[in-house]
Amino acid sequence: MKWTIPNILTILRLLAAPGVAVMFLYYNRPWADWLALVLFVSAALTDWFDGYLARLWRQESKFGAMLDPIADKAMVVIALLVITGFSGMNPWILLPSTLIMFREVFVSGLREFLGATAGTLRVTRLAKWKTTAQMIAIAVLFGTGIFGHMMLDRTFGMDDATIAGILEGEIEDTVGLRSLDLYAWLSWWLGVCLLWIAAALTVLTGWDYFRKALPYFEEEEVSK
């Protein structure tokens, strides 16, 4: 392996994947959400930079081609596990996340089965859009956690009647509670919609890869 900048960026992205989950072990929320969001977005940006720099400087390598999709999958799967956990296994999150993770495992299995002919399953433009949709959806959903816990901090010590009165406009909102509630609601539904779009693209690309691999499943006839 050559220690080129594109390869180093890919390795850093791979190492950042478990770091997203580690943030929630060592920091309280919403700081954990903020740190996970910054780490995830920073790592996601390297996904574009390492490919761009590799092409620009003609430093494309087999190592980078192998590790790049692994780093992407690790980032997405670990982040989805974290989001599914803090969403309380909400079905709006759980179902698309399950579809995405199932597809990633399925395609990885296909590549392993094809072995030397795995080049048949080249990354398509639609697959790149799929990865982009996944990462944007995850970043937005991390934002939901931030807004939700900022609301908890600002309502500490308030009773339910006071909180309801502020949200309904009956009590003066001196802590910006209504704005946070709106941002949390918007980021939640935007993130959910993007996640379902990403899941649909994920299933489509998974089917495309499966279709391309079908000729390799044909059994050879045994001559008598």
The CATH number that applies at residue 61 is 1.20.120
Query: Is residue 92's pLDDT more than 90?
Result: yes
Residue 23 is part of which domain span?
5-214
Task: Characterize 100-117 residue by residue with b for buried, 16 or more Cβ atoms within 10 angstroms of its Cβ, and e for exposed.
Answer: bbebbeebeebbeebeee
- If one counts the domains in the chain, the total is 1
Contact 18, 76 (CB under 8 A): no
**Looking up tokens 């993130």, which residue turns up?**
191
What amino acid occupies position 161?
Answer: A
Query: Is residue 95's pLDDT more than 90?
Result: yes
Share of the chain above pLDDT 70, in %: 90
Structure tokens at 117: 């002919």
Between 85 and 169, name the one with better pLDDT: 85
Average pLDDT over residues 40-46: 87
What pLDDT digit, counting tens, does each position of 102-150 carry?
988 888 887 777 766 655 566 677 878 888 889 899 999 988 888 877 7
Is 219 within a domain? no
Is 222 within a domain? no
Contact 10, 68 (CB under 8 A): yes
Query: Is residue 222's pLDDT more than 80?
Result: no
Between 222 and 173, name the one with better pLDDT: 173
Is 72 within a domain? yes
Q: What is the band of 199 on the pLDDT scale with cuts at 50, 70, 90?
A: very high
Q: Does residue 30 have a cis peptide bond before it, meaning omega lies within 30 degrees of 0?
A: yes
Is 220 within a domain? no
What pLDDT digit, counting tens, does each position of 10-23 carry?
888 888 889 888 98
Name every residue whose Cβ is closer than 8 Å to that of residue 212 and which is 6 or more positions away in sequence. 120, 121
**Looking up tokens 């072990």, which residue turns up?**
25
What whole-number distance in Å separates Cα of residue 216 and Cα of residue 16?
A: 36
Mean pLDDT, the chain, whole residue set: 82
Interior CA angle at 174 toward 87 and 144, to 5°?
15
What whole-number distance in Å separates Cα of residue 94 and Cα of residue 90?
A: 6
